[in-house]
Amino acid sequence: MATPIETEKTSPFELPRSMGMPLATSVVVSNVIGVGIFTTSGVLARDLRDPRVLIGVWLVGGVLALAGALCYAELGARFPRAGGEYAYLREAYGPLPSFLSGWASLFAGFSAPIAAASVGFTEYLSFYFPTLSTQGAGAPGRGFLLPGHFVAALVIVGLSSVHYRRVKVGGPVHVGLTSFKVGVIAAFVLCGFLFGKGNLAHFAPVIPVSKWPDLASATAAGLILVMFSYSGWNAAAYIGGEIRDPLRNLPRSLFFGTVTVVVLYLAMNALYIYAVPLQDMASVIRIAELASLNLFGINVAPLLNLAFMGTILGSISAMIIAGPRVYYAMAQDGVFPAAIASVHPRFGTPANAIVLQAIWSVILAFAGDFRELISFSGVVLILFAALTVGSLYFVRKRNAGQRGTYSAWGYPWTMLLFLAVSLWILMISLVTSFRQHPYKSLVGLGVVAAGIPFFYYWKRKSTDS
């Protein structure tokens, strides 16, 4: 029988359970919804060429994300601890694989996207203040320490400072950013369909169903982009050690957060098609701006940029909340510097872990050229997500006969579906990457392998002490 979970921390190394379901759900929503939904569909339209296929790819991606979320929900209910997949992999496979997932989270999973999103925020801000643009950094006449880099660093430091303080301080800020993000998308969709000058004829079939097999490779590549746009559906798992009543709230936050994103993504893509013929969408990156222009007949770029900036801030905020909980859990287990396991005596947050992530993110933001790391980290993150979903089988087998308080809906089919598609995506990604950049294709795995000696060093140091 499970013991009651305390709501207050009992030592300097325990995080208080102070997060409710609204905050946990908002972490999921904000982690997923970034600029991808505002840019990806134009690229997909170029290759898929049929509105049914375009909507179908986004729907399949949503189903896969939901399947993964359901599996994570059971793992989170069984092990309601900080660290998410780090904690689950430790239970299933042991300390080394779990450490490597946490190591990848620091260097590829959270810090690099935080840096990229902060630079992206600065780029949108440069619409109003052109001197803040960092495009062409390093080119002749351009430097690496540009004003835009300092603004990106201030964004990181500012949001990290907010979440350094009590959850009661940072939580409402994050919920507010998420509400703004969801509200903007919902208003855009509703106004577009109710008052916009779109055309339902844009949904007419273009390619006969009998010819869909010819789109197999394009669909595979499109699904990879879509799954990257859905990444972050597991965010609530990282804060499992701070969610109140986690056996109830953690599964619900994963489910409702993921479903919310799927609905918003499908609605946005339907609006794009309603506003713009598919052939005109092809290769358009700023698809949301083009859709607005067609729907309302005015250039709403200034307003859209504000919406994008709010969306990006919400994403950065979510990653700043989730990431440090992983490093904190690693330090608690003695495989990371002990200071990272410290909880702020006044604020009750993993303060040192937040500072560590902020420092590394700022360094990456100033470095400027970290797009390759993010690109190849995607393969690593999918790999660890697949390993985590697969760990549910071993956890259930090890605890056979013990009934948990929550069971994943659709198990084992949800697990098998997620694993099969993830392995397919990994193979496609690795093969494509190796063909285009043979020496770069193993960068992501190299980042992971670099953590092995550090694992043994910190583990031995912890044992000796």
Main-chain phi, psi angles of 243, to 5 degrees? -85, 130
- Residue 234 inside a domain? The answer is yes
Q: How many domains does the chain have?
A: 1
- CATH number of the domain at 139, please: 1.20.1740.10
Q: Which residues of 379-405 are buried (b: 16+ CB within 10 A; e: fewer)?
A: bbbbbbbbbbbbbbbebbeeeeeeeee
Q: Read off the tokens for 186.
A: 């919902």
- Residue 3 inside a domain? The answer is no
Query: How many CA atoms does the CB half-sphere of 283 hold within 13 Å?
Result: 0
Q: What is the mean pLDDT of residues 352-359?
A: 95
In this structure, the number of other CB atoms found within 10 A of the CB of residue 135 comes to: 11
Distance, C-alpha 41 to centroid of its chain = 18
Report d(CA 163, CA 354) in Å as an integer: 8
- Residue 1 inside a domain? The answer is no
pLDDT bin (cut points 50, 70, 90) of residue 327 is very high
pLDDT at 376: 54
pLDDT at 41: 87
- Residue 14 inside a domain? The answer is no
Q: Read off the tokens for 260.
A: 């919310």
Helix 301-332 to helix 21-32 angle (10° resolution) is 120
Helix 413-436 to helix 51-78 angle (10° resolution) is 120
Per the structure, the complete domain to which residue 139 belongs is given by: 21-464
- Residue 167 inside a domain? The answer is yes
| Helix (H) or strand (E) segment spanning residue 97 | helix 95-104
pLDDT bin (cut points 50, 70, 90) of residue 260 is very high
Q: What is the mean pLDDT of residues 390-397?
A: 90
pLDDT bin (cut points 50, 70, 90) of residue 240 is confident
**In DSSP terms, which residues pair with 19 in a beta bridge?**
243
Residue 214 or 150, more confident? 150
Report d(CA 101, CA 103) in Å as an integer: 5
Q: Which of 399, 422, 411, 185 is nearest to 304 (CA)?
A: 185
- Residue 378 inside a domain? The answer is yes
pLDDT at 6: 37
- Is residue 352's pLDDT more than 60? yes
- Is residue 52's pLDDT more than 80? yes
Report d(CA 182, CA 180) in Å as an integer: 6
Query: How many CA atoms does the CB half-sphere of 308 hold within 13 Å?
Result: 26
Single-letter amino acid code for the residue at 162 = V
Report d(CA 165, CA 63) in Å as an integer: 36
pLDDT at 268: 94
Asked if the bond preceding 412 is cis, omega within 30° of 0, the reply is yes
pLDDT at 66: 94
pLDDT at 5: 37
Report percent pLDDT > 90 for the chain: 27
- Residue 396 inside a domain? The answer is yes
Main-chain phi, psi angles of 310, to 5 degrees? -65, -40
- Is residue 362's pLDDT more than 60? yes
Main-chain phi, psi angles of 152, to 5 degrees? -60, -40
- Residue 7 inside a domain? The answer is no
